[in-house]
C-alpha cells in the first residue's frame, strides 16, 4: 500500500510548465497523514516563501487534489524550473529546482535606438530570477518601442547562455532594418476637405526631399492612430458630428522600404445647432448663460467650441464656490434634419474654500516669487477662474520647464468642503551668456559679450551685464530690475553705463551715468 501511495505522489509532478488537470489524477483520494513537510533544493529562495503557499500542513491528511493544487501554487511562484512531490515515510517532501539568476543582460544589434531606451522598457533586470514569460513580454515591448520610432519591420529574439550552475547571460538580439517611409497617404470619400488639408492636420508626413532634416516621413503605427483621431476631431469642429473613418489600409512595398496608406472617410452631413437648453441645478438666468457661451442657435456645430463652453460654464459655478460642479452635455440629433439640440445639465455639489497652498520642486526660486503670482488665497472661497489664472501666471514667469507646472487639488480626509492646492514645479535654467567677435572697417576688430540672469537670487529679479570692446570704442552697462518693489505691484530698476568713442578725428566722446526706472 505504501509503495502505491509513493508512486501516485511521484506522478503528481509539474515540470517546465506542464500542469495536471483533474482528469489526470482521477477521483479525490486520501493519501496519507503528513507528519512533516520538507522542502529540498532551495539555494536562493526562502523556505518560508514556499511553505506559505502550501495548504497541506503537518498533521493533516493529504489528498491527491491537495497535492496537485500545492504543486501548481509552488510552480506559479515563477522561481522554479521543476517541482516534484514525494512521500518519504510519513513525510511529504518537495524537491525543487530553482531557475537561474540573470547575471548579465546584453543588447546586440541596436544601432539606431539607444541601450538606455531599450533597458527602460524591460521588466527583466540583472540579478533577478529568469522567467521566460517575462522575457517574451520584453520582446514585445522592444518591438513596440521600435515601431514608435519608425522601425516598423524591426525584429527581436532572445538567447539564454549558461554562465555556471546558478547564473545565465540573457541576450536580446535585435535586427533593426531601415525605417519604413510613408510614400503616399490617400483619402477616399472626403468631399468637404481636400487631401492636402487633411494631411496638414496629421503628424505623419509623406517622404519628401527635406525629410532628412525634419525627421518626417517615417511610419509610426501609434502616431498614425493618433492622426486618425485628429482628423475626426477636425471634422467635428466643422459641424460633421457623425464623421467616421475606417481602419486605415497599410500596404508595404516589396522591398519593405515604403508604406502606402489609404483612409476611407465617411463625412456624413454638416450639422447646425437648433436649440440650446439648460437643466439640472441651474443657478443663473438663461439669458446670462447664453451670453457667456460661444455656441449660438443657428451656428455650425463645433466640438472645440462645445468643450470651451463646458469649461466656461463650469468656471461660472466654481467662481461661486462650487468646486465640484459638473456640467454634462447631451446632443440630440433632430430626426430627418441636419440639426442638433444641445442640453447642458448642471450638478453644483458643495460649496468649498481653499485650504493649504503648498509649493514643491522650487529648489532655487523662493516660495514668495510663486505665491505673488497666485490669484487664490488660503481660506477664501473656491474660484475656478482664479485657479486657472494662477497657473497661467506661474507658467508665464519662465522660471520652470514647460509643462512642469502642475496644480493638484485634493480634499484632506474628513473635510470635503476644503480644497488643498499643491503646486509642483521643475526649475529650468534662467541665465544666458552670449559671446561674439567680428571686424568692421569703422572700428576694426571688436568683441561683444553679455550675461543675463532673469531669476537673480531666486527672487525673480533681473540682472544683466553687456560690453562691447574695440580699439576705438568701448561700452559697458549693468542693469537691474525688481519686478515687485518691497512686495508691492511697483516695478523698479536702474542701469549704470559707460561709453567711450575715439573714432572721430576732431574729438573724443566719453559718457558715464546711470538711469532709474519706476
pLDDT at 15 over 70: no
Q: Which of 299, 326, 347 is the last residue of a domain?
A: 347
Distance from C-alpha of 42 to C-alpha of 306, rounded to nearest angstrom: 64
Of the candidates 212, 239, 266, which is a domain's last residue? Answer: 266
Residues 94 and 10 in one domain: yes
Q: In terms of domains, do 468 and 512 share one? A: yes
- Domain match, 242 and 321 both: no
Q: Are residues 165 and 94 in the same domain?
A: no
Do 122 and 143 fall into the same domain? yes
Beta-bridge partner residues of 169: 104, 161
Structure confidence at residue 10 (pLDDT):
45
> Considering only CA atoms, which of 370, 387, 388, 518 is closest in space to residue 455?
370
Q: Which domain holds residue 134?
A: 101-175
Q: What is the number of domains present in the chain?
A: 6
**pLDDT at residue 295, rounded to an integer:** 95
**Better-scored residue on pLDDT, 442 or 448:** 448
For residue 316, pLDDT beyond 90: yes
50 and 79 co-located in one domain: yes
pLDDT at 208: 58
Determine the average pLDDT of the residues in 374-397. 94
Range in 3-12, 147-156, 215-224, 426-435 the model is least confident about: 3-12
- Record the pTM: 0.63
pLDDT, one tens digit per residue, over 160-210 is 998 988 899 999 999 988 777 888 889 999 999 999 999 888 887 776 544
In this predicted structure, the answer to whether residue 7 has a pLDDT above a threshold of 60 is: no
DSSP class of residue 144 equals: H
Which of 141, 175, 209 terminates a domain? The answer is 175
Kindly report the CATH number assigned to the domain that includes residue 212: 3.10.20.310
Residue 26 has pLDDT above 80, yes or no: no
Q: Could you tell me the end-to-end alpha-carbon distance of the chain, in angstroms, rounded to an integer?
A: 104
φ/ψ (deg, to 5) at 498: -145, 140
Q: What's the pLDDT band for 1 if we cut at 50, 70, 90?
A: very low
Task: Convert the pLDDT of each residue in 137-160 to its tens digit.
Answer: 999 999 988 877 778 778 999 999
Instruction: Tell me how far apart the alpha carbons of residues 344 and 341 are, in angstroms, rounded to a whole number.
Output: 10
Lowest mean pLDDT among 193-202, 461-470, 501-510: 501-510
One domain, residues 437 and 392: no
Question: 481 with 464: CB under 8 angstroms?
Answer: no
Whether the predicted pLDDT of 20 surpasses 50: no
pLDDT at 505: 64
What pLDDT score does 345 carry? Answer: 96
Same domain, 119 and 165: yes
12 & 94 share domain: yes
Q: Are residues 6 and 89 in the same domain?
A: yes
Provide the pLDDT for residue 423.
94
Residue 445, pLDDT > 90, answer no
For 480-504, the pLDDT digits (tens) are 999 988 888 889 999 998 888 776 6
Rounded to an integer, the average pLDDT of 356-379 is: 93
Contacts of 457 (CB under 8 A, 6+ apart): none
Please, which contacts does 124-132 make with residues 24 or more away whose CB atoms are closer than 8 Å? 124/170, 126/102, 127/101, 127/102, 127/103, 128/101, 128/102, 129/44, 129/78, 129/79, 129/98, 129/99, 129/100, 129/101, 129/102, 130/99, 130/100, 130/101, 130/102, 130/160, 130/168, 130/170, 131/78, 131/99
> 72 and 129: one domain?
no
Distances (CA, A) of 170 to 103, 133, 184: 8, 13, 40
Mean pLDDT across 124-149: 88
Confidence grade of residue 406 (pLDDT, cut at 50, 70, 90): very high
pLDDT at residue 141, rounded to an integer: 92
Residues of the chain with pLDDT > 90, as a percent, come to 47
Residues 86 and 106 in one domain: no
Amino acid at each position: 500500500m505504501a509503495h502505491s501511495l509513493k508512486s501516485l505522489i511521484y506522478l503528481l509532478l509539474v515540470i517546465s510548465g506542464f500542469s495536471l488537470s483533474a482528469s489526470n489524477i482521477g477521483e479525490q483520494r486520501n493519501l496519507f497523514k503528513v507528519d512533516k513537510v520538507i522542502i529540498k533544493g532551495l539555494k536562493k529562495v526562502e523556505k518560508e516563501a514556499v511553505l506559505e503557499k502550501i495548504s497541506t500542513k503537518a498533521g493533516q491528511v493529504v489528498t491527491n487534489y491537495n497535492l496537485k493544487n500545492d504543486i501548481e501554487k509552488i510552480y506559479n511562484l515563477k522561481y522554479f524550473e521543476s517541482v516534484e512531490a514525494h512521500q518519504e515515510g510519513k513525510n511529504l517532501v518537495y524537491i525543487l529546482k530553482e531557475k537561474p539568476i540573470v547575471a548579465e543582460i546584453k543588447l546586440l544589434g541596436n544601432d539606431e535606438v539607444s541601450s538606455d531606451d531599450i533597458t527602460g522598457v524591460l521588466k527583466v533586470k540583472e540579478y533577478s530570477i529568469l522567467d521566460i514569460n517575462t522575457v517574451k513580454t520584453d520582446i514585445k515591448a522592444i518591438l513596440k518601442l521600435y515601431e514608435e520610432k519608425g522601425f516598423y519591420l524591426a525584429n527581436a529574439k532572445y538567447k539564454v547562455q549558461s554562465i555556471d550552475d546558478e547564473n545565465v547571460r540573457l541576450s536580446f538580439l535585435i535586427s533593426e532594418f531601415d525605417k519604413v517611409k510613408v510614400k503616399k497617404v490617400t483619402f477616399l470619400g472626403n468631399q468637404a476637405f481636400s487631401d492636402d488639408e487633411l494631411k496638414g492636420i496629421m503628424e505623419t508626413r509623406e517622404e519628401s526631399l527635406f525629410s532628412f532634416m525634419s525627421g518626417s516621413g517615417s511610419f509610426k503605427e501609434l502616431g498614425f492612430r493618433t492622426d486618425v483621431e485628429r482628423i475626426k476631431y477636425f471634422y467635428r469642429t466643422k459641424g460633421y458630428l457623425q464623421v467616421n473613418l475606417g481602419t486605415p489600409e497599410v500596404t508595404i512595398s516589396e522591398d519593405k522600404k515604403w508604406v502606402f496608406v489609404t483612409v476611407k472617410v465617411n463625412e456624413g452631413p454638416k450639422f447646425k445647432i437648433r436649440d440650446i437648453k439648460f437643466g439640472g441645478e441651474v443657478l443663473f438666468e438663461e439669458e446670462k448663460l447664453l451670453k457667456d457661451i460661444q455656441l449660438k442657435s443657428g451656428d455650425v456645430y463645433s466640438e472645440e467650441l462645445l468643450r470651451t463652453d463646458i469649461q466656461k460654464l463650469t468656471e461660472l459655478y466654481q467662481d461661486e464656490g462650487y468646486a465640484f460642479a459638473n456640467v454634462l452635455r447631451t446632443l440630440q440629433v433632430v430626426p430627418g434634419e441636419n440639426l442638433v439640440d444641445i442640453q447642458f445639465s448642471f450638478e453644483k455639489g458643495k460649496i468649498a474654500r481653499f485650504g493649504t497652498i503648498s509649493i514643491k520642486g522650487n529648489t532655487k526660486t523662493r516660495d514668495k516669487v510663486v505665491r505673488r503670482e497666485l490669484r487664490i488665497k488660503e481660506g477664501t472661497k473656491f474660484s475656478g477662474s482664479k485657479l486657472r489664472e494662477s497657473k497661467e501666471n506661474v507658467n508665464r514667469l519662465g522660471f520652470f520647464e514647460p509643462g512642469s507646472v502642475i496644480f493638484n487639488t485634493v480634499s484632506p480626509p474628513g473635510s470635503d468642503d476644503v480644497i488643498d492646492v499643491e503646486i509642483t514645479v521643475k526649475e529650468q535654467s534662467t541665465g544666458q551668456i552670449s559671446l561674439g567677435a567680428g571686424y568692421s572697417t569703422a572700428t576694426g576688430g571688436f568683441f561683444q559679450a553679455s550675461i543675463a540672469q532673469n531669476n537673480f537670487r531666486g527672487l525673480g529679479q533681473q540682472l544683466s551685464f553687456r560690453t562691447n570692446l574695440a580699439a576705438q570704442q568701448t561700452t559697458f552697462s549693468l542693469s537691474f530690475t525688481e519686478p515687485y518693489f518691497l512686495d508691492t505691484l511697483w516695478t523698479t530698476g536702474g542701469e549704470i553705463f559707460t561709453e567711450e568713442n575715439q573714432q572721430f578725428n576732431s574729438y573724443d566722446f566719453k559718457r558715464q551715468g546711470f538711469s532709474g526706472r519706476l
